[in-house]
Amino acid sequence: MSKEEKIDNKGLTVKKAENIVDWYSEVVQKAELADYAPIRGFMIIRPNAMQIWEAIQKDFNKTLEKWDVKNAYFPLLIPESFFKKEAEHAKGFAPELAYVDSKEEGERFAIRPTSETIMYDSYSKWIRSWRDLPFELNQWCNILRWEVKQTKPFLRTREFLWQEGHGVFETEKDAEKDMMRVIKAYKKLVEELLAIPVLMGKKSKGETFAGAKETQTVEAFMPDGKALQCGTSHNLGQGFAKVFDVKFQNREGKDSYGWQTSWGFSTRLIGAMIMQHGDDKGLIIPPKVAKTKVVIVPILFDKTRDKVLKKAKEIEKKLSKFGVIIDDREEYNPGYKFNEWELKGVPIRIEIGPKDLEKKQIIVVRRDTNEKSPIKEKDVAITIQKILGLIQKNLFEKAKEELYDRMDEAKNLAELKKKLDEKKIVQVYLCDEKEVEEKLKEKTGANSRLIQETQKQGVCVITGKKTKTRAFVASAY
């Protein structure tokens, strides 16, 4: 769907199962999550989505606080010479760099695609002794990666928002421990906050972050069979430390280079949430990231209008901690309002009409199942709390079941291609070599999303050699 097309607010015109691409575009715009920017590949994040991102930030900031990792901010522009210092990193990001049209002291400045280089330049000045370690900072910022062909709001755009953490440690063991601590926290965040099940594991050599020794990842798999990377954590070894002179005086009084980690996730998580949970009515927001968890729609008639509104406000007060709102707009009928709030994904809708006043009850409608049930007015706060918990759990369990239904195995390349065409996530034996990864992409259009070492040997689907490495293969965004 092009940015020139006008989007009305009458609900979705495309079924998710029939055309997930157009369905996704409609949900993003009609649920007022994002809009297209004047420049191709950029998006405008609207308040409905920004509130979700802020909920994610709030949750992860609690984790950072627990770890005693503080937030900071580093410049948007990075000297070109910084990227040339670390050869593999420079090669990996060269196509994605965008430069500002000016020079100072004969040097161009790139808009950050990631902040390893500029942060480590400062780290080299701030770290002096082993007593300064571990040294970790986090920043919430925007990123620009210019070499993006096909764009889709949240899932793949040239500019996006993200979190990136960068640590320096005394030993490699400490760095490995940090890498794993972070990736486990990412898994917890995605599964418990966004109700999206993920697979966690190591990236192959061909998919490892440019300049890193090892990359751990959490991968979600969407209903269209494509993989979506939801967060990565890297053991950078000492490569960056050596080129940026990040060293410290160790416990023996000698100079030693730091062992480093970097880790991040982005607004891509919002795209994953839309794609995973949404249905033919629109967005479904997991309660833990929904700012408005409950909307009250009073059913208004002239004779009972004041009584119903009064009761709606009493209910609103009882549910204030859930970010409840009352939709008392008189220019729209209840059916229109129901459709609008379903489209925007509010977890619970409460209906109150004159008959409900007589029965001292309210009608509660769950967005995830569309179940409608009466509850006693006196029990409203406790019941709503319970239902929100049930919605969060149901979304995760449903998505988990779908994930395992899409997983399969293949013993050879022909089987792999067939099952990829069936939109499966396919487990295969695969030699962990960059050349093998390249041939896999060439022959299937897919890549390994993560790898695992097994006890048993199997035959690599590309080389025919024996290997103990198994890979999860899928197409990706």
pLDDT tens profile 292-349? 999 999 999 999 999 999 999 999 999 999 999 999 999 999 999 999 999 999 999 9
Q: Match 């997983």 to its residue by tokens.
A: 407
CA 280 to chain centre: 22
Residue ranges per domain, the chain? 20-277, 292-390, 407-474
Helices 380-406 and 305-318: crossing angle in degrees, nearest 10, is: 70
What is the DSSP code (8-state) at residue 189?
I
Q: Measure the CA–CA gap between 281 and 286, rounded to whole angstroms.
A: 15
User: Which pair of structure tokens corresponds to residue 158?
Assistant: 């040239």
**Digits of tens for pLDDT over the chain (477 positions)?**
333 344 455 689 999 999 999 999 999 999 999 999 999 999 999 999 999 999 999 999 999 999 999 999 999 999 999 988 877 787 778 888 899 977 777 889 999 999 999 999 999 999 999 999 999 999 999 999 987 777 899 999 999 999 999 999 999 999 999 999 999 999 999 999 999 999 999 999 999 999 999 999 999 999 988 999 999 999 999 999 999 999 999 999 999 999 999 999 999 999 999 999 999 999 999 999 999 999 999 999 999 999 999 999 999 999 999 999 999 999 999 999 999 999 999 999 999 999 999 999 999 999 999 999 999 999 999 999 999 999 999 999 999 999 999 999 999 999 999 999 999 999 999 999 999 999 999 999 999 999 999 999 999 999 999 999 999 999 998
E-assigned strands of 171-239? 199-202, 214-221, 227-237
Tell me the CATH class for 20-277: alpha beta
User: What is the per-residue pLDDT across 49-66, written as a single tens digit (0 to 9) for each?
Assistant: 999 999 999 999 999 999
CA geometry: angle at 205 spanning 200 and 209, to 5°? 75
CATH of domain 292-390: 3.40.50.800
The values of phi and psi at residue 68, to 5°, are 65, 35
User: What is the per-residue pLDDT across 86-133, written as a single tens digit (0 to 9) for each?
Assistant: 777 877 788 888 999 777 778 899 999 999 999 999 999 999 999 999
Longest dimension (CA), the chain: 86
> Count of residues for the chain?
477
Dihedral angle of Cα 301, 304, 309, 312, to the nearest 10 degrees: -100
Please name every residue paired with 262 in a beta bridge, in sequence order, or none if there are none: 166, 234
CA distances from residue 56 to 51, 407, 413 in whole angstroms, order as listed: 9, 28, 40
Tell me, what amino acid is at 27?
V
Tell me, what amino acid is at 361?
Q
What is the architecture of the domain spanning 407-474?
Answer: 2-Layer Sandwich (3.30)
Residues 6+ apart with CB under 8 A from 454: 468, 469, 470
Helix (H) or strand (E) holding 162: strand 159-169
